Amino acid sequence: MSDLSFSVVVPAYNEEANIERVYTRLRNVLDGLGLRWELIFSVDPSTDRTEELIRALHETDPRVKLLRFSRRFGQPMATLAGLEASSGDAVVVIDCDLQDPPELIAELVARWREGYDVVYAQRRSREGETLVKRIVSYVGYRVIARVADVDIPENAGDFRLMSRRVVDNVVALKESHGFLRGLVALVGFRQTSMLYDREPRAGGSGKYNRFLGSLVIGLNGVFGFSVYPLRLISAGGIIFSVFAFLLAIADFILKLAGFPFPVGNPTIVILVTFLGGIQLLSLGVMGEYIGRIYDETRERPKYIIESRHGFD
């Protein structure tokens, strides 16, 4: 195993408060693994000293590398760029905020040595997160697990270890949404989980996964890996069509019997408004799929790298 190499990918954006902390803790863990390693910071252009600190670390430790994008592409694309640039026989993705303890990497590597291609860390508790985010995460994970065409584990983020063949297959996929959890589930191979307790942020405030960012990632999980919403619209259309047909029959029978139809104008207004809302919602769902088709057919690059530091 001493001949094998190991890569760690850290997406970062305005994380000057955590750069040196995450490097120190990762170095202490990685030096004890008995593997050659590299640490790749995949950075959206930051307004603080994030890039300056990473370049300073590279000067003292050449194993630290930096990818800088031409503009902000977001965490999913930063992660994919880091995976593509990595060279290790196994790759770990970890956030820069230290909510995912780097010390757990030793256990991830131990499971990898047992023969697993993917070892994903599954959250047992979520310290330091707001109640709203916990509720959104709880609902989102269960919706995705219910509708997705692949088995996407609950309470598992991007913190995971992947073997080289998994990384190569994930990078080779031409999907533009970058939902790593779904992409890893899609390529398959032998996978296992590891439970852990998530810690509060080490410093600063989160720049990537705020409420809106988490919502977008969740929608990518739903629309990128399932056609269930379209089937739900079809089922709703059938139900409302049958209801309208039965209502028409009831009206016809009542007229033949000489009784006035008991449904008045308020009911009609309510029904028309309700059905109008359903139609707009259905158009929105179809628009999400059409928009993703449009993104895929344009074949624009997922990200553009402005500069590299530390790579051959």
Q: Which alpha helices (H) appear in 114-210, and where do they start and end?
A: 131-147, 164-172, 180-187
Buried b (16+ CB within 10 A) or exposed e, 270-302: eeeeeeeeeeeebeebeebeeebeeeeeeeeeb
Task: List, in sequence order, every residue forming a beta bridge with 197; answer none if it has no partner.
Answer: 125
Domain regions of the chain by residue span: 5-207+300-309, 228-298
| Residue 221: predicted pLDDT | 55
How far is Cα 111 from Cα 118, in angstroms, rounded to an integer?
9
Please name the residues in contact with 90: beta carbons below 8 A apart, sequence gap of 6 or more.
4, 6, 7, 109, 112, 161, 162, 163, 164
Element (H, E) at 9: strand 5-12
Best CA proximity match to 13, nearest among 156, 179, 209: 209
Amino acid symbol at 214: S
| Residue 203: predicted pLDDT | 53
| Residue 134: predicted pLDDT | 63
| Residue 150: predicted pLDDT | 64
Other Cβ atoms less than 10 A from the Cβ of 97: the count is: 25
Amino acid symbol at 231: R
Query: How large is the C-alpha radius of gyration of the chain?
Result: 25
| Residue 214: predicted pLDDT | 57
For domain 5-207+300-309, the CATH class is alpha beta
Q: How far apart are the first and last CA of the chain?
A: 24
Split the chain (312 residues) into runs of 10 and give each run's mean pLDDT.
77 86 88 86 87 88 89 85 88 86 87 86 67 62 62 75 89 75 80 76 54 58 62 71 70 69 60 71 73 71 82 76
In this structure, are residues 289 and 223 in contact, taking their beta carbons and an 8 Å threshold?
A: yes
| Residue 71: predicted pLDDT | 86
Q: Which alpha helices (H) appear in 35-150, and where do they start and end?
A: 50-60, 75-85, 105-113, 131-147
